[in-house]
Structure formats: structure tokens, C-alpha cells
Amino acid sequence: MSWNAIYVNSRTEKKVVTLLLSKDIEAYVPLVKTMRQWSDRKKMVEFPLLNGYVFVNIQPIQQEKVLQTKGVVNFVRSEGKIAVIRDVEIERLKQLVTLGYQMEVCHIKNNYQEGDKVKIISGPLKSIEGFVTVNKNGRFVEVLLESIGQSLKVKLPEEILIPAL
């Protein structure tokens, strides 16, 4: 069995996971909670961390069953072959989701410059390497999910970072 990423129709990630689970296919969509405000109320809402992606842990024989699921567009491919997602990348996603928005209140000081490679030395993301990026909202550590060509930007306290070799 291996993890694969699938493209799904817009805003159907949670429904696709439910349908896949009903077919006895292990499926995962990383969800993050965020506060949304309407004119009359505020509410915590869960959104997919990676819009349009769902991850499935399947054997090759189950590929057709996945593609026949309502809302599934296709498998993510790399060099013409279905991309295999490494277990460590799925674990990274799960760790990032577990941490939630606590990460966003921390700031990286100016000791690291854009492009510096850093390693996280403590906490749930321990041993993960990334690169410092800068945008209008501050400095972030960019964690690359190589198998699907996506990266996640996370604010982390400088105290848990060291230069990576």
C-alpha cells in the first residue's frame, strides 16, 4: 500500500473522504479550523489545508475504485506516473494540522534571512527542514511536500530553529 494524492472537485474534499471511507479506502484530508465572521455571528469552521487535494492509502488494484468515486477528478501525477506520497510527508501534514493556528502567533526574528535552510529542533515538527521565506505578513518556514510539489508556510519561534546542514 502507498499514499497517493488525488485531485477533487472544488469544495468537495470532506465529502470525497466520506465516500472513500464508505468504500473501505483509507483517505485523509488535512483540515484546519479558522474563525469566520458573518454580520450576525462568529463561528469556527474547518477548511482543507490544501484545496483540491485528498490523500488515499491504497493498493494499485484499488485505483479504479478511487476514480469511480463522485467528486474525484484524477490522481496527481509526476513524470506521467501516479505520484507516490512518502509516509513522512503525510506525517508532516498531520503534525501541522495537530498544531493548528498556534503557530501563527509566533514570529521569527531577523537572525534568519530569506532562503536560509533551517531545521526544527523541538516540538511536533522536530527534525523537519525548511527554508525561510518572507512576505508582507512576516517571516515563515516553508515546509516542502515534495511528492505533490506543494509547500506550506508556517510561522515558528526562532528558539526552535537551527541552521540546517
**pLDDT in 10s for each residue of the chain, 165 residues:** 999 999 999 899 999 999 999 999 999 998 877 778 888 988 888 888 788 899 999 999 999 999 999 999 999 988 889 999 999 888 878 877 787 643 332 334 456 777 788 877 776 677 777 777 776 666 677 776 666 767 777 777 677 777 787
Cα 144 from Cα 20, distance rounded (Å): 26
Taking residue 43's Cβ as centre, other Cβ atoms within 10 Å add up to 9
Cα 131 from Cα 143, distance rounded (Å): 7
Taking residue 29's Cβ as centre, other Cβ atoms within 10 Å add up to 22
Q: Is the separation of the CB atoms in 12 and 28 below 8 Å?
A: no
Domains and CATH numbers, the chain: 2-85 (3.30.70.940), 101-163 (2.30.30.30)
At CA 81, angle to CA 20 and CA 21, rounded to 5? 5
